[in-house]
Amino acid sequence: MEKFTGPLKKPVRIWLLIGIVMVFFQVVIGGVTRLTDSGLSITEWEVIQGTLPPMNEAEWTEAFQLYQQAAKKQFETLHADMSLSEFKVIFFWEYFHRLWARLIGLVFLFPFLYFLRKKWMPRWLIRRLGIVILIAALTATFGWIMVKSGLNNDSRTWVSAYKLIVHLALATTLFGYMCWTWFLARQPFTADSDFTGFRRLTTTFLVVLFVQILFGGLMAGMRAGMLHPYFPMFVEGDRLLGALTATQEMNLNNFVDYEPGRFIKGWIQVVHRLTAYALLIFGGLLWYRVRKSLASPILKFGNTLLISMLGIQFLLGVLTVINSFTHIPVGFGVLHQAGALILLGISLFMLYQFRSGKQSTHGVIA
């Protein structure tokens, strides 16, 4: 049985933290890619050859023509008057998204081999990093499956929102798993394991938050925020009520081909908003109970971060919705997505403080 006697060496901890930051920005860049309609600009998945962008005018023209053909619906609907220079802008975001993923792989691989050779990584960490690689590979694979859903499909302007949330769920899981691994490496022992009630409440908050992130992906993938860009919901309420009661659209075909419909978009938006209020309630209750308790200073610090970020995130959600009249605002939308990940990281930090002080050889909380 391998004993977990203290924090890992500082270079290993820094390396793990860099990985978390890079995954965070990968998700954020993915948000920019989605909201700028850039995701379909690269029509092939070339792991090696795709490292370099088009290098001359002829290659750029060929890439533009491939986009016009493979993403015909999006091109004709949104970008029919697009110039080659404008295409280069959307190409950049999708290319940057893929290049950043490759860079993460390099940043992961070479220090991993070095630390392994130096024997600075215990077995539990090696096993957890193996799971990180698996989740990352699944995320990348489903990213391409998502992109393909919008290519060579004359009825789809964007990628499938359902495949998008699978990709987002995997990326969010990867981020959360890496955060927890870093907590294990940085703070092997905690002082608040006796607060079982807090643990249950924090777990509930985390589950609701994860569901909320997925509904946020559906909001973005379906452009559902544009259906009712008002706050609160009763402002121009007849508009939203009309969508919610359009029961003639309540069939499988309209759920699959959701772009022209209103019913599913209306309900997605309502659930997303109601879940935000649920998070405020659970988060506020957790904050109040921890604040009044004899919890450790580090838990109370996390508690302050949680309630502060929750308020900021709610405000960013409101600003995103009320600015979604003709398109989803890229700035607010990306900040809202980034805020969700930060809130997730803080919530996991809170939950981590309630773990027992024992560590198994598999890196699983004992």
Closest Cα partner for 216 from 267, 274, 272? 272
pLDDT digit string, tens, across residues 48-73: 666 789 999 999 999 999 999 999 99
Structure tokens at 338: 């980034």
Q: How many CB atoms lie within 10 A of CB 13?
A: 14
Q: How many CB atoms lie within 10 A of CB 305?
A: 17
Q: How many CB atoms lie within 10 A of CB 183?
A: 19
Rounded distance, CA 233 to CA 273, Å? 9
Cα of 346 vs its chain's centroid, Å: 15
- The SS3 call for residue 7 is coil
**CA dihedral angle for residue 79, residue 82, residue 84, residue 85, rounded to 10 degrees:** -110
Identify the band that residue 46 occupies on the pLDDT scale cut at 50, 70 and 90.
confident
Could you tell me which residues come within 8 angstroms of residue 186 by beta carbon, excluding any fewer than 6 positions away?
7, 8, 13
Provide the CB-side half-sphere exposure for 247 (13 A, CA).
1
Residue 359 has pLDDT above 80, yes or no: no
pLDDT at 86: 95
- The SS3 call for residue 359 is strand
DSSP code for 250: -
pLDDT at 13: 95
- The SS3 call for residue 80 is coil
How far lies 120's CA from each of 20, 113, 115, 183, 232, in Å? 19, 10, 5, 17, 53
Mean pLDDT of the chain: 91
Residue 215 has pLDDT above 80, yes or no: yes
Task: Please compute Rg for the chain using Cα positions.
Answer: 22
Is the omega angle on the peptide bond into residue 232 within 30 degrees of 0, that is, cis? yes
Q: How many CB atoms lie within 10 A of CB 143?
A: 24
Lowest mean pLDDT among 28-32, 135-139, 354-358: 354-358
Side chain identity at 80, as an amino acid letter?
A
Rounded distance, CA 151 to CA 184, Å? 42
Provide the CB-side half-sphere exposure for 164 (13 A, CA).
24
Whether 307 contacts 284, CB under 8 Å = yes
pLDDT at 63: 94
Structure tokens at 335: 């900040």
Structure tokens at 217: 């992906």
Side chain identity at 325, as an amino acid letter?
F
pLDDT digit string, tens, across residues 111-170: 999 999 999 999 999 999 999 999 999 999 999 999 999 998 888 889 999 999 999 999
Closest Cα partner for 314 from 287, 275, 349? 275
